[in-house]
């Protein structure tokens, strides 16, 4: 009788172990799956045919951020070379904006705080009001937000250049509109760009849940080779 | 007899509760206005944003400048101010479409929520402060 009981107990233990093991494998499996998530590549693409070693190879060319050359808050030139090999987040704002910018900046502070130890990450905030937002004003603004001005930079350029860059490079909109509070209309997107300067995601910079998603996607992008 | 006394007591208490209840409705209206006009910058918790937007929560400026609040909300703020020892220079936009009654509700909400004040202003006194 006692022997039988012992046997049953043993069996129970074995079953319980196997259930635990299966659950564990399942969990590990799902973890692996989530880290293998690939972010989409946004924008136009063209197939380019090349002949390499006598063989026809079709290569996909993705749209990248067009050439830009702007000044940061410390009057340092910032261009495509500055962010080469790094991932970055871009946004468009103006310091006197009474509507969505303050909340965008509060959300960007969270992104900055999370990645500020990581030299593979850059944040570029572009002013769309270059007349009012002078370089000294941008420097003060950066300082007040607690940004170091190296990893999180505040960029200044001629209005035409910045607006074209917003629309053609980052799928964002920026325009002068006297009927809007503050005098400008612009989108509140945070645009995630990869190491090859391709846009990989656009997030609503006024939504905490969207910005949470951005930070998860940045981790995914950082692991990408 | 006992029932009558109880009823009288209940009615008495209800009458006492009446005044604060009316004020709370007023504050609730102020909260709606706050969420429409102020929350983007000053935030839900009233803590503001970094050193860009000053806090309202426990702000010495509010306690020291009570009578200026209706004017500031209506006309905005264009000069530098110091709040709890920190200088702010971001311009505050005007809200010149708000009526005297709406400004009263808003000021009372801000005072009640962020300055823990229970001395609420009447619409008449706000109108007077605005005419100054």
- Which tens digit of pLDDT belongs to each residue from A147-205? 988 999 999 999 999 999 999 999 988 888 888 878 888 889 999 999 999 999 999 99
Give the model's pLDDT for residue B117.
83
The closest of A80, A44, A45 to A59, measured between CA atoms, is: A45
When CB atoms are compared, the residue of B40, B50, B89 closest to A109 is B50
- Burial grade of A16 (CB within 10 A; 0-12, 13-18, 19 or more): exposed
So what's the pLDDT on residue A194? 96
Nearest to A182 by CA among B71, B43, B92: B92
Q: What is the pLDDT of residue A1?
A: 53
Q: Answer yes or no: is pLDDT of A34 > 70.
A: no
Binary contact (B50, A146; C-beta < 8 A): yes
Are A85 and B22 in contact by the 8 Å Cβ rule? The answer is no
| Residue A12, pLDDT score | 61
CB contact under 8 A, B52 and A105: yes
- Cross-chain residue pair B91–A96, CB shorter than 8 Å: yes
E-assigned strand segments in chain A = 45-52, 55-62, 69-71, 77-79, 87-93, 121-127, 152-155, 174-176, 184-186, 189-193, 199-204
Q: Measured between CB atoms, does A72 come within 8 Å of chain B?
A: no
Confidence of residue A98 (pLDDT cuts 50, 70, 90): confident
What is the bridge-based pairing of β-strands B81-83 and B86-88?
Answer: antiparallel
User: B81 — contact with chain A (CB < 8 Å)?
Assistant: no
Q: What is the ipTM of this complex?
A: 0.71
* Residue of A97, A100, A101, A102 to mutate, interface with B, max B Cβ within 10 Å: A102
Using one digit for the tens of pLDDT, what is the confidence trace for B2-60? 666 666 665 555 544 444 444 677 788 999 999 999 998 999 999 999 999 999 999 99
* B54-95 pLDDT, tens digit each: 999 999 999 999 899 999 999 999 999 999 999 999 889 999
> What would the mean pLDDT of A81-99 be, rounded to a whole number?
93
The answer to whether residue A33 scores a pLDDT higher than 80 is no
Q: Which candidate from B41, B51, B89 shows the least CB-CB separation from A102?
A: B41
The two tokens of residue A132 are 């009012």
pLDDT average, residue stretch B103-112:
93
Q: Is A145 on the interface with B (CB under 8 A)?
A: yes
CB contact under 8 A, A105 and B50: yes
């Amino acid at each position: 009788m006692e022997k039988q009981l012992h046997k049953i107990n043993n069996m129970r233990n074995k079953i319980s172990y196997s259930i635990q093991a299966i659950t564990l494998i399942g969990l590990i499996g799902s973890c692996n799956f989530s880290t293998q998530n690939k972010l989409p590549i946004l924008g136009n693409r063209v197939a380019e045919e090349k002949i390499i070693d006598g063989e026809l190879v079709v290569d996909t060319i993705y749209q990248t951020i067009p050439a830009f050359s702007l000044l940061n808050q410390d009057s340092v030139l910032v261009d495509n070379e500055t962010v080469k090999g790094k991932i970055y987040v871009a946004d468009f704002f103006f310091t006197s904006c009474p509507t969505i910018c303050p909340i965008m900046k509060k959300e960007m502070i969270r992104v900055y705080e999370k990645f500020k130890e990581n030299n593979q990450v850059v944040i570029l905030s572009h002013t769309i009001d270059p007349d009012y937002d002078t370089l000294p004003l941008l420097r003060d603004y950066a300082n007040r937000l607690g940004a170091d001005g190296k990893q999180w930079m505040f960029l200044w350029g001629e209005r035409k250049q910045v607006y074209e860059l917003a629309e053609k490079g980052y799928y964002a909109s920026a325009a002068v509109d006297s009927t809007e509070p503050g005098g400008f209309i612009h989108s509140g997107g945070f645009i995630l760009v990869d190491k090859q300067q391709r846009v990989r995601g656009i997030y609503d910079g006024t939504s905490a849940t969207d910005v949470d998603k951005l930070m998860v996607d940045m981790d995914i992008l950082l692991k990408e080779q | 007899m006992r029932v009558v006394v109880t009823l009288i007591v209940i009615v008495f208490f209800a009458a006492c509760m009446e005044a604060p209840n009316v004020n709370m409705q007023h504050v609730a209206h102020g909260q709606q206005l706050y969420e429409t006009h102020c929350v983007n910058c000053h935030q839900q918790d009233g803590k503001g944003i970094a050193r860009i937007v000053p806090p309202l929560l426990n702000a010495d400026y509010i306690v020291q400048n009570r009578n200026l609040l209706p004017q500031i909300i209506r006309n905005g703020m264009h000069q530098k101010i110091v709040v709890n020892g920190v200088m702010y220079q971001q311009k505050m936009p005007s809200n010149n479409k708000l009526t005297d009654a709406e400004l009263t509700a808003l000021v009372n909400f801000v005072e009640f929520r962020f300055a823990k004040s229970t001395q609420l202003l009447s619409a008449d006194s706000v109108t007077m402060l605005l005419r100054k």
